Amino acid sequence: MEGGPDDRPPLVLLHGLTFDHRMYLPSIAALRVRDPGRHVLVLDLPGHGGSPPLPACDPEDVAAAVASAVEDAGLDRPVMVGHSMSAIIATVYASTYPTRGVVNVDQVLDMSSLHMLQANRVAITGPGFAHMWPSILASMHIELVPENVRRLLSTELPRQDLVLAYWRQGLETPIADMEARVAKVQAILRRKEVPYTIFAGHEWDAATMQRLNEALPQATVTVVPNSGHFPHLADPDRFAQLLADTGRWRGSTQAAPQ
């Protein structure tokens, strides 16, 4: 944890699945210059880095674990920052616990990844996992990350049981039911007018942007072109400035749902 409480909302940084807190080291270094003393809590997801695993790792379970860590740290209504899978966790967190906003790092809020998971369920849940993982990793385009920070991203084959624990809900829940869950979370954020910004590694197409504008009209999108799945590592200075700008966020005056 860095900094201390002041009138700026604290930041809670959550890394993507199979990585760890180190992916935010360049951003934190840049943030020290742009927003000195900002209160920042960087966590390892359950089962990653120094964090013990959870019995279940659905987004709601992990959000509850994060909420416990936030409470233990004494943070008041943080801005939740999540990369990839953790952007979903951060979004669920904001629909359930007091927060002053969400920074989503390169997570498109649609069903495309779930269609991919469910279409490849047999391979992903069986011995084919080891053969599929390299193609999943290749789709993230780590090669677009500056060479001096690639070492912060593990490219080794992760534990299958850990990945499946986080993907369980997406693999087992019918797409229509998942769409309903996502719509419910988005409706809460829309009603509460929770500040929401996306830091993306590529331009989103018109249809995706239209869906976003309808679901979360308060959302903004910043693009670091051709940076793959890790725009915060491709341009940590720009990302740090975005985080610094959240220091003005005050969240919604509406109460959190009961």
Helix ranges restricted to H, the chain: 25-34, 59-73, 85-96, 112-119, 121-125, 129-138, 160-172, 175-192, 206-215, 231-234, 236-245
pLDDT of residue 96: 97
For the segment 35-81, what is each residue's pLDDT rounded down to a tens digit?
Answer: 999 999 999 999 999 899 999 999 999 999 999 999 999 999 999 99
Give me the mean pLDDT over the 81-107 stretch. Answer: 98
Q: Which residues contact 123 (CB under 8 A, 6 or more apart)?
A: 129, 131, 132
For the segment 107-152, what is each residue's pLDDT rounded down to a tens digit?
Answer: 998 888 899 999 999 999 999 999 999 999 999 999 999 999 999 9
pLDDT of residue 252: 58
Q: Enter the tokens of residue 142.
A: 């780590």
Give me the mean pLDDT over the 187-200 stretch. Answer: 97
pLDDT classification of 253: cutoffs 50, 70, 90: very low
The model's pTM is 0.95
pLDDT classification of 258: cutoffs 50, 70, 90: very low
Domain limits, the chain: 11-248
pLDDT of residue 257: 43
pLDDT of residue 255: 42
Decide: 228 and 145 in contact? Cβ < 8 Å.
Answer: yes
pLDDT above 50 (res 11): yes
CATH 3.40.190.10 for domain 11-248: no
Residue 13 main-chain phi, psi, to 5 deg? -105, 125
Vertex 198, ends 77 and 82: CA angle to 5°? 55
Could you give the 3-state DSSP secondary structure of residue 18? Answer: coil
> What strands lie across the sheet with 220-223, from one edge to the other?
40-43, 11-14, 79-83, 101-105, 196-200, 220-223
**Using CA atoms, how far apart are residues 8 and 247, in angstroms rounded to an integer?**
5
Q: Enter the tokens of residue 83.
A: 């990369």
pLDDT classification of 250: cutoffs 50, 70, 90: confident
Query: How many residues in total does the chain contain?
Result: 258
pLDDT above 90 (res 239): yes
State the chain's mean pLDDT as an integer: 94
Give me the mean pLDDT over the 168-186 stretch. Answer: 96
Q: How far is the CA of 83 from the CAs of 17, 135, 199, 225, in angstroms?
A: 8, 19, 9, 17
pLDDT classification of 256: cutoffs 50, 70, 90: very low
